[in-house]
Each structure stands twice: as structure tokens, then as C-alpha cells.
Amino acid sequence: MIKYADIIGESMVDGTGIRVTAFLQGCPRACEGCHNPGLQNYEGGQVIQEKDFTNLLLTKITPVHAGITFSGGEPLIQQEGLFNVLSAVKTNSPGLDIWVYTGYTFEEVKHSPLMKCIDVLVDGPFILEQKDLSLPFRGSANQRIIDVPESLKKGEALEIEILCV
């Protein structure tokens, strides 16, 4: 089962290229200045079977889409369900890249089986004192854009530098 709040069919602010973005419900962090405070509550959102959620996401994909982004809330609190969804997406559409936004750091989650399904991880909690709207694809200066496959090979977080969008 997956609990989600919304799916946006065409986003250009949640990763490179045109993307489908899924907002998952629930977050334990409650960061001050959170961009999506309505997604923190575990009681909100809709519950859906992983297979149905995968199909819903894939029906929104067109030839112009670069990939799918999972945001929240905190996607990694639903690791088992998200693993099933990401595995199915990778099997059905191997050319799509997968971005995941999380308040956890790469170092905290690098051993999760889920990481093998993710291409880019935007990690770290939002810190209001480090808010910087000039940074592409993140809200505060502590957050990193990480190349997950290369980071897993090297055993350390390798950041992707994106200068402008």
C-alpha cells in the first residue's frame, strides 16, 4: 500500500526535464518553513495498492517526460511500498529516471534496498535558516543533489552540480 496526496502530471521544478511528481503523505520531521506542511499529517491522503499507483503514474508518462519524482511528506517512511512501485516503474519504463526528495541524508539511507531503484536523491532536511531560493531543485543550502548509482559504487555521496534551470 502507498499513501499519497497528489500527482502532478507535468512538473519542471522537481528535477531535470518534464516530470511526473508524486507527493506522498506523512512526515515525522515537521521542519520549520516546510514547503508542504499539509503532507505531514499521517491521516491525510489516499491509500492505494502499489500496482494501481504504479499504473496511475505510468499512464501520465508521455514521450516528453524525463522521469518521475517522489516528494512529500517523506517518501522514505513508506520504503516497502515505494520499493515495489519503483521496481515496477524501472521494469516497465527503464528509460525514466527516478528522483526522490527526502529529509534523510544519503549516509542514513544508503543501505536501504530502495536506493538501487533511485537515480537521484535530494537529501537532507529543510533548514529555514539556510533557505536559498536560488538553488536549483532544493530549498536550503544543506540539501544535496546526489547521483545515487555512482554514490553506491564509490561508497560515498557524489553530488551532481546543476548550475541553473
**Residue ranges covered by each domain of the chain:** 2-154
Of all residues in the chain, what percent carry a pLDDT higher than 90? Answer: 84
Mean pLDDT of all residues in 87-110: 95
Per-chain mean pLDDT for the chain:
93
pLDDT band at 165 (very low <50, low <70, confident <90, very high): low
- Segments of the chain assigned E as strands: 2-11, 18-24, 46-48, 65-71, 97-101, 120-123, 144-147
CA–CA separation, 149 and 164 (whole Å): 23
Mean pLDDT of all residues in 1-18: 94
SS3 30: coil
Residue 2 has what pLDDT? 96
pLDDT band at 41 (very low <50, low <70, confident <90, very high): confident
Residue 164 has what pLDDT? 65
pLDDT band at 101 (very low <50, low <70, confident <90, very high): very high
Q: Kindly tell me the number of DSSP H helices and DSSP E strands found in the chain.
A: 4, 7
Residue 162 has what pLDDT? 84
What does CATH list as the number for 2-154? 3.20.20.70
In the chain the first and final C-alpha atoms are separated, in Å, by 34
